[in-house]
Every structure is written in C-alpha cells, then in structure tokens.
Structure 1
Amino acid sequence: MQHEAVTPAPHSSLLPMLLIGVLFFIFGFVTWLNGALIPFLKIACQLNEFQAMLVAFVFYITYFVMALPVSGLLARYGYKQGMVLGLAVMVAGALLFIPAALTGAFGLFLLALFVLGTGLTLLQTATNPYIICVGPRESAAMRISCMGIVNKGAGFIVPLLFSAWVLTGMDAYSDSALAALQPEQKQLLLAQLSERLVQPYLLMALVLSALTLFVWWAPLPKLDFEQQPDQSARWSELRHYPQVWLGALTLFCYVGVEVIAGDSIGLFGQQLGVAQFGILTSYTMAFMVLGYLLGITLIPRWITQPQALLASAVLGLLFSAGVLYSSPERTLLADLFTGWLGIAAIPDPVFYLALLGLANALVWPAVWPLALQGLGALTATASALLIMGIAGGAVLPLFYGYLAGQSSNQAAYWLLLPCYAMIFYYALLGHKRR
C-alpha cells in the first residue's frame, strides 16, 4: 500500500529547531551520564562487570518495552503533548534516584533508570520525526546532525561535571583500600559514596520540571502528518516497507555499538589502570561532535546520506579492529592526537574505542530519513518501530559485559564487528529495499 510523502508544513522551523535542540541536550545529558554512572555504581554497589552493564540494559530496554504504548499516545494526543509527558516522566525518574542514593539499593537505581528511559522514549519518538519533517527531506540528516552536536556536546560535558562533582577522592574506594576495612566501616564508606548522587539528581529534577512548563506553553505548530486522518495505521502495513524494519535492525546494531563505545570505555580504562576513568566517555563524545560537524558540512552538498552511512560503517570496522589488536601498553594515538594539548595519554585500544564516536556520529541521522521516506500516515508507526531498535543499547552492552567476564574486556569487543557489517549492508543495499 502506498502513502503520500509528507510535505513540510509552511511555517518557520526556527522555534521548533531551538526547542528540540534543548530537548536533544537533555537526551545527551541524561543518556551519557551512564558512562560515568556505571563505574561509580560498580564501586558503590560492589558489582561485577555483568551487573554493572545492567545499568545500560535497564535504561535502553525501555525503548523496546514502551515504544508501542508511546506510538499510541502520540497518535492520540500529538507530538507536543508527548514531549510534555515525556519530560514529566523524566522528573519522576530523577526524583527516584534520591531514595536510591540514600539507601544504596541497586534495584532502586535500576527502577529509577527505567523510569528515566521511559520518559526519554516518549521524547525520542516525538522529536525525531518532528525534526525530519519540519524542513526539506533532503537536508534532514543535516538537521539531525545539528541536533547531534547538541546531544553529544552534552555527552562531552556531563562526564566532566560528574567527575568533578561526584568522582573526587576515589582512591579511598579502590579495591585495596576497601579490602583493608572492617565490614561495618566498608558499608559506611560505600553509603557515603552513594549519597553523593542526591544533589545532582535533585538539580536534574528541578531543571526538567522547568523545561516541562516551557514546552507546555511553547507555540509549537502541528506538522502535516499529524493532521492526516489515518493515524491508526496498522503495524502489518510496514511489511510493505523493508527499508523500515531493516532500518530498525540497523539502529539496533548502531545503538548497541554506540552505547558500548560510550558506556564501557570507563570500565575498560579502569581495568587498564587509567586514573581519570570517569571522564573517558567525554573522549567518545568529542569525536562524535567532530563527526556531526563533518555531517553538517558535507551533507547533502558533497555526499549523500547513504554515502555518509557507508563511510561510517567502514570506519567502524577499522576502528573496531584497532580496539581488538592494538597493544594496551602503547599510547601512540594519544601522543599523536592529544599529547600536544597536555592531556594525559591513554592506551591505544581505549583511544580506538573513543574514535568509534567519529564512526558512529552519522549513522542515526542517515538511517532515519532513509527509513521514513515516503511513509506518510505511517510515519508515527514506523518511528515507533525504529525507536524499538534502541533496544540494541540494552542487549548488546549486556552481552559485552558477559563476554568480558568470560575472557577480557578487550577480547569482548569482537562483538562490534558484525554490528558494523549490518550498518554496511544497510548503507549499500538495505535502504533501497521496497
């Protein structure tokens, strides 16, 4: 069944771009806080590698679990109301961190992360098609790249803030230091560490509350696809659009490798003895910002969206091989690229892992417009299916944590290779399937 392509609405896109830019900053701030939160909770709650990666699993599995209910809410109430509700749910999730921090209960931390992820699912499902359809389709990847800079810019900032605010004096919590304490002293020290999260998440709840009110009053226009009558399009109709479900599988692989690169780098650096392991996510985010800047410059003037996706897949395969086969004893890449800045050198495998940020940057903005092309009234339904692909951020990092426990952190990164192979296929052939 064919549907008419979405025609951008005849209104200024400046206000929606600015507002959604703020929302994308929130996405990045909340999402990439996990990269510093995982090694922190590993110490505070005394977790192993697999248990620590449950943080990423619970956070991202919400995108799969909640995508179907969210698509129904958006179809009924509209995209603006979905943004407001998503922010309100995130406020609840941030507030749940306070009793979790006071009790040190890992299960309560996971519940708070699930609620935060539910709110983000609403926001992501509403804002991604909005930013695509608010302007010309051929420049959609460029607009999403702009949002990506904001998103990953937040991801660059948040580990630095978290490390300065929460991860100070961590030498007192090393394995050797904790082992020398009596059980009662150890529990008291770990409880004090956990309580460090109260103030940051209380501030987050206040900021999200203010943003909820702002979005509620903002005069966001409806887009053409919101005004079409067929908002209850059946999921079965998507079988006629292989580019959509192949796109969802591609996003599953992409989000998995993106989360592994951003959230496991702290654990990897911690294992290799990197002193400032809490800020390593900032390296990955810095390279992602560089990738988005290249996307804004090159797309669509110099390269097409499929070409950008193909280049991303090739770079991902090359950098993954670097993670697997470079020596942890060498710091050649850091000496070459960041040594002149006076930044402490990090081992080559960790630097290659950070470079995956450059490879990953243009995958999301390239896949979305390719997958949603020509869907018309099916846009909301297809967007929900694509959002379900974010579950890769839950499943693949958890699988990585299991593999790391069975062998080593470095050897477990072989998991990246088949994921980038799938992205390569979608860039070359998969997006053309009809």
Structure 2
Amino acid sequence: MPTNKSNYYALGIIAILFFVFGFITWVNGVLIPYFQICLELTNFQSLWVAFASYIAYFVMAIPSAYILKTTGYKKGMVIGLIVMALGTAVFLPAAYTRTYGLFLTGLFITGTGLALLQTAANPYVAIIGPIESTAQRVGIMGVANKTAGILSQQILGTIFLLSADSIVASVAKANAVERAAILDEYVLKVVNPYLVITVILLLLAVLIGFSRLPEVQESGAPETSPNQQKKTSVFQYPYLVLGVLALFMAGGCEVIPIDCIILYSKAMGIPLQEARHFTEYTLYAMLGGYITSTIVIPKYISQQAALRYVSILGLLFSFGAYSTEGLTSIGFMIAMGFGAALLWGTIWGLAVRELGRFTKIGAALLLMSVVGGGLFPLMFGRMIDIYPANPQMAALVLVPCYAFLLFYAIKGYQIKNWRPNE
C-alpha cells in the first residue's frame, strides 16, 4: 500500500478525474435541447444523446476489466482519457456538417473512454487507502463529480442555450434556405468548447502518464461461508442479479431528472432561457443528497434503510410530478435529485457483498446496468411526444423503477439463494 503522503497525492489526481467525469457526463442535459434545436429533432430523437453515452458502459464494462488487467490502473486511465479526447474531437466535423450521426458517434467514443476510466478510477478510490475510510473518499469524489456537473451547466449552458429562444423564433419564421443558414451557424457554438475540452483531456492524459500515481494491488476477497464455496457462477447470487436490475432502474431515476428536465420544461411551455437552469438545480439537489449520504450512512441508518426511504420518496415525487403542472411539477422532478444521489452507493454496497472470487465480475455486471440511464430517458422522451398536451404522463416512467427499488430495499437484497431450501 502507498504511504499517507502518496495517498493524498493519488486522491488529488483521482479527484481531478472525477471532476472530468462530472463535466463530460452531465453536460448531456444541455446538449439534448441544444441538438434538438440545431438538428431539428423530436424529443425521442434528441434523447439518443443519453443512450449513445450510456450504451458504451454496457459494451465496455467487461472489456475494460480485461484491458486493466493487462495495462494496470495508471495506463488504463491514460488510455481512457485519450479515447475520450478522440470522441470529443469528433464533435468538430459533426458540427461543420451538422450531422447527428457523427455527434452520436462522438458521444459513444467518449462514453467508451469514460467507461474504461471509471472502471479504473472507481475501485482505485477503495484500494488506495484504508477500507474503513472508503465512504469518506467516495464522498469527496462525489462532490468533485457533481460540482463539475454544475459548472458544465453554468458554462456550456450559457454558451449553447442563452439565445435558444430567439433562435427557435427565428427558425419558425424563416424559409427553408434561411432556416438552414441559421442552424448551420448555431451548431458551430459547439466547436470552440469541445476543442478546448479535447485539449484538456489530452493534457490530463500526459499529466497522468508522467505522474507518480502509484500502482496498487487488489487483495482478493475471501469466501465467508462454506455455502459460498459451493457456488460455481455469479448468477447463483440472487441479491447480485436483482441488484444489477435495481441499478438498471436507478439509472433512469438518476438521469431523467437531470438530462430530461429541460425538454420536460419546454414541453410545458417554459422558455429555454429559464428552463436551462433546471438541470443545474437538480445537480444541487444531488450534491446535497451525496453529502447527506456520507454523513448518515451507516452511522445513523443502514444502506438498505436509506434505499427504502429514498425509493418511497421517489414514488411520492413521481406521482407529484404527474399530478401537478408547470413549475410545481418541475419542482418535484428537481427534488428527485436528492434521493437519486443515494441510489448508486446503496445498491452497489448491497449487491457486491460476500461475493468472494466473483466480486470483479459482479462489479462489471453492475457497471453494465448503467445502460438504464440511456434507455429510460428514451421512454421518457417518447411519452412527451405521444402526449404533447399532457407531458406529465412521462413522469409515470419512473414509477415502476422506484417500485422495484423499494422491493429490492425491503426483500431483494436479502435473497441469498433462488430456492428457499438451498
């Protein structure tokens, strides 16, 4: 294990990476309405932004584990940053040709690098220091992640959406030739920011490559019971399999209030000048939830109790968003961010316990389930398209998600065998 001094140095480097995760991931909330305008997309089409980003986790989770086994954590992080830079660089030709397929390709490549980077960085946070202080380190990373997300909304939201309402009005009055000219100019707003992001990612790759970031070895997780020694497959752990499904549902619960809230607000007639701030507000709510979780879990409440409470809260807020209108409905969506911040850590902790030699593959399956963050927003956007006069119907997409999370918090995490008599 590295010394305490190298611990602080390593955690500083990893905190920078988590800042990058947040900035790149949560900017989707701005990109979705931006692309909807400049590429003339439906709600469903625009939410392929989220899908292209999160499907990369599903594709790359297990390959990333094998890559890291060969390269080690440090080189894996460098490779992840370079791949991310390639993805953000694709935004430049995509903008000059105003081609949605190229933008989605860039997002997928960026997500691929991000998946590799997260596969390396997440366990590194746990391994780099004492196990009893893991929650504290995770909390620091969460704050860095969400703070970056807030900054991405403030910076890129201002660049991409500040004049969005006037652009929409101009396009509505223009003929086909004028409309194309307006949108061709508007889409170029993405060029300079993503050129800067590409350069920063490459500089970070160099920084990590030449850093004194220590390589650490994972200690094998011991088997804790004779019953576990009889297991021959990771799928013989029901609480893990159900946990993967729970994390799949949680992806929708976390991403929809962030990435979809601007489209949701726009569907209710709220100007983009006002709506562009709502993603930022949701991230503030998540930041509050993240800080709260590091304080109260497990000192005051257990992981399963926390998951139970936030699942009930999520159900109440989902029905609240469905049954109200305007800013009140949006307020319920924003409030969901607080509880959503607790989902990842609580489900992960319940799902990977006592897996022994299956811990790594179990973690990879859990990471693959993040694809829910891409699929459920598509359903949400489709519901808005189907019910344009009543966009609140889309909030019902979250009800089965939170219902399953409640089941997992009450019963699912306790199921250790598929058959009661095993």
How far apart are the structure 2 equivalents of 1:315 and 1:142?
Answer: 25
Among candidates 411, 419, 422, match of residue 429 of structure 1: 411
SS in 2 for 1:62: helix
Call closer, same or farther: CA 1:279–1:32 in 2, change over 3 Å.
same
Alignment of 1:143-292 (within 5 A): 143-174=137-168, 176-225=169-218, 237-275=233-271, 276-292=274-290
Q: Which of 384-393 and 14-23 deviates more?
A: 14-23
2:64 equivalent to 1:66: no
Once the two structures are TM-superposed, the CA of residue 243 in structure 1 deviates from its matched residue by 2.8
How far apart are the structure 2 equivalents of 1:145 and 1:208?
Answer: 24
- What amino acid maps onto 2:341 in structure 1? A
Call closer, same or farther: CA 1:112–1:412 in 2, change over 3 Å.
same
Among candidates 279, 304, 307, match of residue 305 of structure 2: 307
Judge conservation of contact 1:138–1:300 (CA < 8 Å) in 2.
no
Once the two structures are TM-superposed, the CA of residue 376 in structure 1 deviates from its matched residue by 4.7
SS in 2 for 1:78: helix
Once the two structures are TM-superposed, the CA of residue 43 in structure 1 deviates from its matched residue by 0.3
Call closer, same or farther: CA 1:367–1:130 in 2, change over 3 Å.
farther
Alignment of 1:100-179 (within 5 A): 100-137=94-131, 139-174=133-168, 176-179=169-172
TM-score where L is the length of structure 2: 0.90
- Identical-residue share of aligned pairs (%): 38
Q: Deviations over 1:222-252 (max 9, x none)?
A: 4442789xxxxxx973123333222221111
Judge conservation of contact 2:2–2:214 (CA < 8 Å) in 1.
no
Partner of 2:71: 77
Partner of 2:91: 97
Among candidates 382, 403, 420, match of residue 383 of structure 2: 403
- What amino acid maps onto 1:325 in structure 2? S
How far apart are the structure 1 equivalents of 2:2 and 2:84?
Answer: 32
Once the two structures are TM-superposed, the CA of residue 173 in structure 1 deviates from its matched residue by 1.5
Q: Deviations over 1:71-108 (max 9, x none)?
A: 21122222222211111100001111111111111111
How far apart are the structure 1 equivalents of 2:180 and 2:410?
Answer: 54
- What amino acid maps onto 1:419 in structure 2? C
Once the two structures are TM-superposed, the CA of residue 260 in structure 1 deviates from its matched residue by 0.9
Q: What value does the CA root-mean-square deviation take over the aligned residues?
A: 2.0
Judge conservation of contact 2:264–2:384 (CA < 8 Å) in 1.
no
- What amino acid maps onto 2:399 in structure 1? L
Greater relative contact order (Cα < 8 A, sep 6+): 1
Call closer, same or farther: CA 1:358–1:318 in 2, change over 3 Å.
same
Q: Deviations over 1:7-41 (max 9, x none)?
A: xx464342332222111111110111000110000
**Structure 1 runs not aligned, ≥5 long:** 1-8, 229-234, 329-346
Call closer, same or farther: CA 1:224–1:371 in 2, change over 3 Å.
farther
**Structure 2 runs not aligned, ≥5 long:** 222-230, 417-422
How far apart are the structure 1 equivalents of 2:314 and 2:133?
Answer: 24
How far apart are the structure 2 equivalents of 1:241 and 1:136?
Answer: 27
How far apart are the structure 2 equivalents of 1:120 and 1:236?
Answer: 31
2:321 equivalent to 1:293: no
Once the two structures are TM-superposed, the CA of residue 362 in structure 1 deviates from its matched residue by 1.1
Judge conservation of contact 1:88–1:212 (CA < 8 Å) in 2.
yes
Judge conservation of contact 1:67–1:387 (CA < 8 Å) in 2.
yes
Once the two structures are TM-superposed, the CA of residue 123 in structure 1 deviates from its matched residue by 1.3
2:35 equivalent to 1:41: yes
Aligned residues: 401
2:358 equivalent to 1:378: yes
Call closer, same or farther: CA 1:425–1:140 in 2, change over 3 Å.
farther
Call closer, same or farther: CA 1:149–1:251 in 2, change over 3 Å.
same
How far apart are the structure 2 equivalents of 1:140 and 1:370?
Answer: 15
Once the two structures are TM-superposed, the CA of residue 309 in structure 1 deviates from its matched residue by 1.9
Partner of 2:340: 360
SS in 1 for 2:276: helix
Judge conservation of contact 1:129–1:383 (CA < 8 Å) in 2.
no
